[in-house]
Structure 1
Amino acid sequence: MANTPQSKKRARQNDRRKVINSARRSRIRTFLRKVEEAIASGDKDAAVAALRTAQPELMRGVTKGVLHKNTASRKMSRLSARVKAIA
């Protein structure tokens, strides 16, 4: 348990950030799931649209420190390759 005033404050800040970060991570997952569903349905237009909306959301996660840059880039690359492969 935190004892000093500084460590108590850090614990409070960490609790607040955890809520914000988990919400942001959940939001990113939702956007990625929409792309996955569009790919699974085989609708290229919907998949492209979903990918376009997911891309800035992923990058926002990077700038906010929720995701690593390479992780977001890898996800974008793999998703875009799958969208492109839809006949």
Structure 2
Amino acid sequence: MPNIKSAEKRVKQSEKRRLRNASQKSALRTAVKTAESALTQSDVEKAKEALLNATKKLDKAVTKGLIHKNAAARKKSRLAKKVNELAAKA
């Protein structure tokens, strides 16, 4: 345990940030999984809507520093590619 007052504050801040980051990262993963599940169900409209939501969450995660911008770009690209393939079939 920290003995210095500023170190105690740091511990509190770190814990608060850790919990916030964990919750945002979880919401991000859920959004991506929702988009992927809509793709497996071959529901074009639902997939497009889920793609928009996942893209928004990914971009937000980049600005918050949760994930690297290239990782977000890669995930968005792969999801968009799958949605476009599904839309082309329909």
Q: Same fold (TM over 0.5)?
A: yes
Q: Give the equivalent residue in structure 2 for 1:25.
A: 25
Q: Give the equivalent residue in structure 2 for 1:84.
A: 84
User: Once superposed, which parts of structure 1, at least 4 consecutive aligned residues long, lie more than 3 Å away?
Assistant: none
Structure 1 alignment gaps of length 5 or more = none
Q: Size of the alignment, in residue pairs?
A: 87
Structure 2 alignment gaps of length 5 or more = none
Give the share of equivalent positions with the same residue, in percent: 37
Amino acid at match of 1:69: K
Deviation of 1:20 (Å): 0.4
Q: Give the equivalent residue in structure 1 for 2:71.
A: 71
Q: Give the equivalent residue in structure 2 for 1:62.
A: 62
Deviation of 1:2 (Å): 2.6
Query: In 2, Cα distance between the equivalents of 1:11 and 1:20?
Result: 14
Amino acid at match of 1:46: K
Amino acid at match of 1:24: Q
Amino acid at match of 2:85: A
Query: In 2, Cα distance between the equivalents of 1:59 and 1:52?
Result: 11
Per-residue CA shift, 1:1-29, capped at 9, x if unaligned?
A: 43322222111110000110000001111
Q: TM-score, normalised by structure 1?
A: 0.92
Q: Give the equivalent residue in structure 1 for 2:13.
A: 13
Query: Does 2:48 correspond to 1:48?
Result: yes
Q: Give the equivalent residue in structure 2 for 1:36.
A: 36
